[in-house]
Amino acid sequence: MNTTDKAPKKVLTKLSDLEELARRSTRKKKLVLAVAQDSHCLEAVVTVVKKDLLDALLVGSTSKIKAIADELKLDISNLKIVQEENDKKAVKLAVKMIHDHEGDILMKGNIPTAVFLRGVLNKEWGLRKSDILSHFTLFELPTYHKLIGLTDAAMIIAPDLTTKIAIINNAVDFMNRLGILNPKVALLGAVEVVNEAMPATVDAAIITKMNQRKQIKNCTIDGPLAYDNAVSIESATHKGIVSEVAGDTDLLVVPDIEAGNILYKAFGFSANATLAANVLGASAPIVLTSRSDTEEAKQASIIMAAAAS
């Protein structure tokens, strides 16, 4: 991203602020929807385009796309459709458009995630940029005093030390693009002390020390921290934890996908959180939403990608 393209003047305080950030770009971004014959994705894309936040290009079956638009009464007359009946070929076309700088944001439509990601990671025309692809979610929680990020809840099953560092770097770089500078990163575990029987706590201690020695930059890291210490200064104080991160965390890093997935869904279904999520580590932001995500979350995910691209 060209750093002169966008200069955030205030820290994001709510997800709706992403719209203002997206509008500051000197050039309207273009989203490419791969296998666009998906009612949920198509509806979200059309809604965001109507807000004049980005342009969109639809790759897939023209007849199926138009049938969905007619059924949902969506106006797609101003959107270009690239005809391709074969789903795998549609993914290839969409990915190549991003690769060739004909688009800025890639979004998954009606195609299995594994097939979609194989296209993204293609060695010849794919979008791999960093060591790994990872999932990042930005949550607005009614019970927390600011937006809070979570990684990785959907991509990496059981990250080792090296992979955790890559996950952190992906998320920190992305948050910096959104104007969240030097985010405070909490490495979560079941306890806040190092226990050799709990490998996540050992990894957390190593990563924290690496951050202190500037091996991991542009953030402040502490861990291991139990979840309550990460988000509650009262809890941290009660346990005698002295930390810049405790109680004021910007980014939660989970030890594995199970912890991340549980926390992601607990926030959404039990804590009335709103969210925006992207896949990071490619040369462009990737919007890969779940059918269980709300319409609001799908739109916010698209807008967040536009704000960061």
Q: What is the mean pLDDT of residues 254-259?
A: 97
- CA–CA distance, 93 with 82 (Å, rounded to integer): 9
pLDDT at 9 over 70: no
- The reply to whether 67 and 120 lie within a common domain is yes
Q: Which residue has the higher pLDDT, 290 or 228?
A: 228
- The reply to whether 35 and 121 lie within a common domain is yes
- The reply to whether 173 and 79 lie within a common domain is no
- Tell me, yes or no, whether 295 lies in a domain: no
- The reply to whether 117 and 43 lie within a common domain is yes
CATH number assigned to the domain comprising residue 147: 3.40.718.10
61-73 confidence digits (pLDDT tens): 999 999 999 999 9
- The reply to whether 145 and 35 lie within a common domain is no
Q: What is the mean pLDDT of residues 175-188?
A: 96
- Tell me, yes or no, whether 85 lies in a domain: yes
Q: At what angle do helices 161-177 and 199-212 cross, to 10 degrees?
A: 50
Q: Which domain holds residue 118?
A: 17-129
- Tell me, yes or no, whether 309 lies in a domain: no
- The reply to whether 116 and 144 lie within a common domain is no
- The reply to whether 172 and 236 lie within a common domain is yes
- The reply to whether 124 and 140 lie within a common domain is no
The pTM of the full predicted model, rounded to 2 decimals, is 0.92
> Among 129, 144, 178, where does a domain finish?
129
- Tell me, yes or no, whether 98 lies in a domain: yes
154-175 confidence digits (pLDDT tens): 999 999 999 999 999 999 999 9
- Tell me, yes or no, whether 232 lies in a domain: yes
- The reply to whether 72 and 185 lie within a common domain is no
Where does the chain have alpha helices with state H? 17-23, 39-50, 62-72, 87-99, 113-120, 161-177, 199-212, 227-231, 233-238, 257-270, 295-308
pLDDT of residue 131: 77
pLDDT of residue 10: 55
- Tell me, yes or no, whether 172 lies in a domain: yes
Q: Side-chain half-sphere of 47: how many Cα atoms within 13 Å? A: 17
Rg over alpha carbons for the chain, rounded to the nearest Å, is 20
- The reply to whether 265 and 155 lie within a common domain is yes
pLDDT at 252 over 60: yes
Considering its fold, how many domains does the chain have in total?
2
